[in-house]
Homo-oligomer: A and B are copies of this chain.
């Protein structure tokens, strides 16, 4: 096989071990793979995937391949590739992979286009870069695309904006909308893995620190809750009064970033928006402040503005860049402002990706079956898929639950019994 671009195929063996390790924590995907092997529902389907190239993703890709799909994979972020996993997919599974950790933006887009050269029937996206490039630069490929799937909040926002503009040319399933995705992945996955990333990068004690979380969506509340669980004093910033009020009721301090910037020790953005930490925030931060991002794109922190304010910068630890300002203060940016859980840690643990990727696999199967009947818009994962995934997951964890009795079902459907 020659059609790939990875760092070093000699890393394959280590990658295999990590893929197998992750597999142990992915019982839902395992069940799906077993059925796919029997039923081959994706036989002959060309899939181009643009996802973080991690051990968990490898298990998804292998599941699709076992279902009969002809898959290629490119990275959805220049910093998030696990090179040994990429090597194993190429060497052991003959999956073409285009992804090298730390690649520059030019290479990133070259890889994206290589994945599109595969002439996909279905796209699988994480941030909508693949779909966006397809619509901007490779419109010749559009006719044969049946549909796509999209992993993230950020990507879904972009796709909905495209659909609203009438610009989206095929249906996309918003995997992120599945409850078994965003309830678990965004909240529990992002919560733990973001702190994991920050701690690996800095080795700082969170207890006693003022930790500022920008955004109280599903990711933000996971992060806030886990930071508090590690002893930090958490401040939340928001633009929407509803989640802001929830944050207050959950016991957090809520204030504008302008104020939080003055007192925070560690900052992390999870908003999906840009310049959430901006020039005027850097201007008032304490000496030594740590600033990071766990939102999809590296636009949430205005690093160019900080760059312009700095007299010098230096890498003081891997993934920790110190910006020395004219007034003597030093501000630290983690992982170049890219999502810190992938930059300095290993991304979401396998057990959450299990459910996200079960949604990807089943969503993709659904798209293959039904895509031609669907409109050019963003669809949610069908509820029965979602609930089935939750059921299998509980079973795999050895957790039993109650079942409604006939009497209870009848009661819930009646309206005549009262006080």
- Residues of A at the B interface (CB closer than 8 Å) are 17-18, 20-22, 24-25, 76-78, 105, 108, 127-129, 132-133, 136, 157-159, 161-162, 165, 167, 179-180, 183-184, 187-189, 191-192, 196, 199-200, 202-208, 226, 228-234, 237-242, 244-246, 248-259, 272-276, 288, 297-299, 315-317, 320, 345-346, 348-352, 386-387, 390-391, 393-394, 397, 399-405, 407-408, 411-419
Contacts and interface: CB of A to CB of B under 8 A. Distances in A.
Nearest to A392: B241
A167 B401 contact: no
Contacts of A317: 17-18, 21
A232 B205 contact: no
A319 B91 CA distance: 25
Nearest to A243: B390
Contacts of A244: 390, 394, 399, 401
Contact of A401 (B25, B239, B386): B239
B230 A77 contact: no
B229 A128 contact: no
Contact of A349 (B205, B387, B399): B205
A415 B158 contact: yes
Contacts of A241: 387, 390-391, 393-394, 401
Nearest to A246: B183
Contact of A255 (B128, B242, B400): B400
Given A128-B418, A208-B251, A237 B394 contact: no
Contacts of A397: 208, 248
A136 B419 contact: no
Contact of A239 (B25, B183, B404): B404
A154 B187 CA distance: 28
Contact of A192 (B128, B188, B199, B233): B199
A132 B24 CA distance: 44
Contacts of A206: 192
A338 to B, nearest CB: 9
A189 B161 contact: no
A42 to B, nearest CB: 26
Nearest to A20: B316
Contact of A189 (B136, B184, B205): B205
A89 B229 CA distance: 36
B399 A203 contact: no
Contact of A242 (B234, B320, B386): B386
B192 A205 contact: yes
Contacts of A179: 242
A390 B243 CA distance: 9
Contacts of A408: 239, 273-276
Contact of A404 (B136, B165, B167, B273): B273
Given A128-B415, A242-B180, A317-B18, A207 B192 contact: yes
Nearest to A163: B415
A259 B259 CA distance: 17
Nearest to A286: B398
A92 to B, nearest CB: 16
A419 B297 contact: yes
A251 B207 contact: yes
Contacts of A165: 415
20 contacts: A21-B203, A22-B203, A108-B419, A133-B418, A183-B242, A191-B230, A196-B196, A203-B350, A204-B350, A207-B250, A229-B229, A232-B251, A239-B401, A241-B393, A248-B394, A248-B397, A255-B400, A297-B417, A297-B418, A299-B417
